Amino acid sequence: MSNNNLEEVDRLSELPEPLLLLILSFLPTKFAVRTSLLARRFRHLWTASPSFDLDRSDFPPGRRFNDVTSRCLRLRDPSASLLSFCLKTKSWRPIPIKLISNWLNRAHSLGLRDLSLHIHTDTIESLFPLILSFGSLHSLLINCVDSVSAFSFQPLVPRTYPLTQLKYLYIKARISNSELKTFIMEQRNLEYLCIEPLGSCSVDLSSQSVKKLKLCSKWTSSKIYLSFPKLEFLDLSISVGMQLNQFQFHGEMPVLRKALVEISSLPEEGVPDLHEILKSITKVSELTLHIGTPYPKHIPAATRLRKLNSLDLFHPLLEPGKDILMFHNLRSLKLSMCFYENALQDLVCLLHHSPVIDSLHLVHVEGPSNHQRYRWALEVWHSKLPLNSEGNRKYADFMNLQSGDKKSEVIKLLSGEKSSKRLKT
């Protein structure tokens, strides 16, 4: 059949409207509006999209962003639900409070469920009472774009408010008001909580319903208290050992099953801090632990000085004078760190105290690049572990450790002892 006899078929226009609206919901609003030029059917379709997403950085300086946002909300189909509203205003000039209030009230009148705000701290503080009045919200994301400044997020939480249906809450700000803790505790349906406090402040969080918690506190918090009786998954990113005051970590998480702990760098002074964190998660069955570059108390400043050897660095996983932690339920361990001799000894000790472990994934991380290279650490890693299946030494995987004597063979390999047979990773 010749091409002239082939009929051109508009497959996109043949799709049912619910599917087209679903596709539009994944597009930023500025692109969704442009689909009105495709065909007559698309002329007003964007006005019924269940999502609204505008970024101020996509517009030139001036009032155009404000005008476009107001116009798009005004033109929306009043019979169509607006479920998701995302506003990003990464600019030094805040948007007037009254204008944003009008936008949020309009979105709320259309059945708003998911709210995401990336705006200035003082703007958020003024809007918080209004946001708390939106009883239909299921998810709330607050990102203070000027959080690196001296401003602190101090929400004014009234005694009663209808916002009690939240299931997802994300806050990235300089939090300094204890009322936020009260707000979180009052959320009886909250299941996922993500907090990124900026600045050297204490973190005290508690919830009777949260099952997943992500806490990113890389600005050196001095105290962290967590009380989550139903928590199943913990994602913790933190800096340790650099505090002016003594670091304190306390976690009550009795049903925790999976944990991801990331330590950006580990000085010798931070080992007790890491030990306190691990003590709170000994009941997990899956553990992913990333320990950044180790920093000993003394590193030779010039290559003419004696080279460091593997015993010059501390034990990263064992605190001197403390009992060795037992991981009775641990079945899967993913460990990323610099594997010098003392680190491998700690790993072997951890394996001995994890009776049901069945899966082990190791990733070797080099030492600090701005100091003398840890060639000995690389040699230690290479001497203990063979090439993996991909022909490199960056990582090693060991599976089915509970079958036969495989766990014992892995321990012999990591300990540098002669194994009875060749062990493949």
Q: What is the pLDDT of residues 288-332, one digit of tens each?
A: 999 987 766 555 444 444 455 555 678 899 887 788 899 999 999
Of 12-16, 168-172, 280-284, 375-379, the range with the lowest mean pLDDT is 375-379
Q: Distance (Å, rounded) from C-alpha 425 to C-alpha 423? A: 7
* Calpha distance 288→130 (Å, rounded): 40
How open is the CA angle 109-114-120, to the nearest 5 degrees? 95
Can you tell me the distance from the alpha carbon of 334 to that of 290, in angstroms, rounded to the nearest whole number? 8
What Rg do the C-alpha atoms of the chain give, in angstroms?
27
The alpha carbon dihedral of 105, 108, 112, 114 has a sign of: positive
Q: What is the model's pLDDT at position 418?
A: 46
Asked if the model's pLDDT at residue 208 lies above 90, the reply is: yes
Residue 394: pLDDT band (50, 70, 90) is confident
Query: Which tops the pLDDT comparison, 263 or 293?
Result: 263
Mapped onto helix, strand or coil, the DSSP state of residue 43 is coil
For position 7, what pLDDT does the model report?
Answer: 55
The mean pLDDT value for 185-206 works out to: 84
The token pair at 210 is 């949260």
Q: Is the pLDDT of residue 160 over 50?
A: yes
- Listed in order, strand segments (DSSP E) in 146-303 are 168-173, 192-197, 203-206, 212-217, 223-227, 233-238, 248-252, 258-267, 286-295
Q: Which of 108-122, 136-150, 299-313 has the lowest mean pLDDT?
A: 299-313
Ranges of each domain in the chain? 257-425
Paired residues of 250 in beta bridges = 225
CB 353 within 8 A of CB 330: no
Q: Residue 25 to residues 75, 360, 400: CA-CA distances in angstroms?
A: 16, 41, 44
d(CA 24, CA 84): 12
* Whether 195 contacts 221, CB under 8 Å: no
Q: What is the pLDDT of residue 150?
A: 47
Which of 2-16, 151-165, 293-307, 354-368 is least confident?
293-307
